[in-house]
Amino acid sequence: MLRLDSLSCGYGAMQAVHGLDLHVAKGSITTLLGANGAGKSSTIMCIAGHVAVHSGEIRYKDRKITDASPMQRIKDGISVVPEGRRLFPNLTVKENLIVGGYSRSRDESNRELERMLSIFPRLEERLGQRAGSLSGGEQQMLAIGRALMSKPELLLVDELSLGLMPKIIDICYRAIAELNKDGLTIILVEQSTHRALEVADQVCVLESGRTVWQGTSDEAQNNVKMIDSLLGLREETSDA
């Protein structure tokens, strides 16, 4: 579905990701892990076309998309739930969702809206409410819902569970599992390992913009201590 070959990207002269190789199979879930500043968001936003490629290649469904515009990538089926959600706080829930579906026809958009509301019924109750007045969890559901409105085949989710209560994290992870079961390919960026390992097929750990570990989720689960130490979590645990 997606192939990153020796991908380097960044901001002007600043290189955030150095020579990343990643193959994402259709219908799979890939988890990208890494500490603050590891290059996770840069990678995701580069795939979506918002961060400049310095060298290397991005291939999607066997076509090179390295130079494609963000809009073209949305039309091709790549959608992103950005870090910090970036909703339009003064628009209603419904208006935010409509904005997410702007690349599709009205009929397609209405169908996606129905499907999305069945995944997150809580949003249906709040369609007329301003997005800025939603709780953090509802905002995350809306951010995912808005990304789904463009009918993606590849969904990129940055920090799914950051700052959310366990109950809401459960709802979001259940939605991810359900969408994946329906065939959606997903790249999930997370800081907290364990939950993300449970749903993943493949795991990639980044440090300072480079891959320091890559393997299957089973391999990752068998090496949780090693991964925690790569993420700098083990020192914190032993200090506590």
Ligand X SMILES: Nc1ncnc2c1ncn2[C@@H]1O[C@H](COP(=O)(O)OP(=O)(O)OP(=O)(O)O)[C@@H](O)[C@H]1O
Per CB under 6 A, residues contacting ligand X are 11, 14, 16, 34, 36-42, 83, 191
Residue 38: CB minimum distance to ligand X, A:
4
Residue 85: CB minimum distance to ligand X, A:
13
Residue 112: CB minimum distance to ligand X, A:
28
Euclidean distance between CA atoms 186 and 183, whole angstroms: 9
**Locate tokens 């499907």: which residue?**
115
Beta carbons within 8 Å of 42's beta carbon, 6+ residues apart: 9, 10, 11, 16, 17, 51, 209
Residue 36: CB minimum distance to ligand X, A:
4
37 binds, among Mg ion, ligand X, none (CB under 5 to 8 A by kind): ligand X
**Nearest to ligand X of 113, 157 (CB atom):** 157
Only one of the segments 58-66, 80-88, 97-105, 229-237 lies at the binding site for Mg ion (rule: CB under 5 A); that segment is 80-88
Only one of the segments 38-46, 92-100, 103-111, 217-225 lies at the binding site for Mg ion (rule: CB under 5 A); that segment is 38-46
> Interface with Mg ion includes 41 (CB under 5 A)?
yes
Residue 75: CB minimum distance to ligand X, A:
25
* DSSP class per residue in 61-100: TTEE-TT--HHHHHHHTEEEE-TT----TTSBHHHHHHHH
Euclidean distance between CA atoms 160 and 198, whole angstroms: 14
102 binds, among ligand X, Mg ion, none (CB under 5 to 8 A by kind): none
Maximum distance among all alpha carbons in the chain? 56
Euclidean distance between CA atoms 33 and 233, whole angstroms: 12
191 binds, among ligand X, Mg ion, none (CB under 5 to 8 A by kind): ligand X
Query: Is there a contact between 49 and 38 (Cβ–Cβ < 8 Å)?
Result: no
Beta carbons within 8 Å of 48's beta carbon, 6+ residues apart: 70, 73, 78, 79, 80, 156
Query: Is there a contact between 151 and 74 (Cβ–Cβ < 8 Å)?
Result: no
Q: Using CB atoms, what's the residue nearest to Mg ion?
A: 41
192 binds, among ligand X, Mg ion, none (CB under 5 to 8 A by kind): none
The only residue of 83, 207, 219, 228 in contact with Mg ion, by rule CB under 5 A: 83
Beta carbons within 8 Å of 194's beta carbon, 6+ residues apart: 224
**Nearest to ligand X of 38, 65 (CB atom):** 38
Binding site for Mg ion (CB under 5 A): 40-41, 83
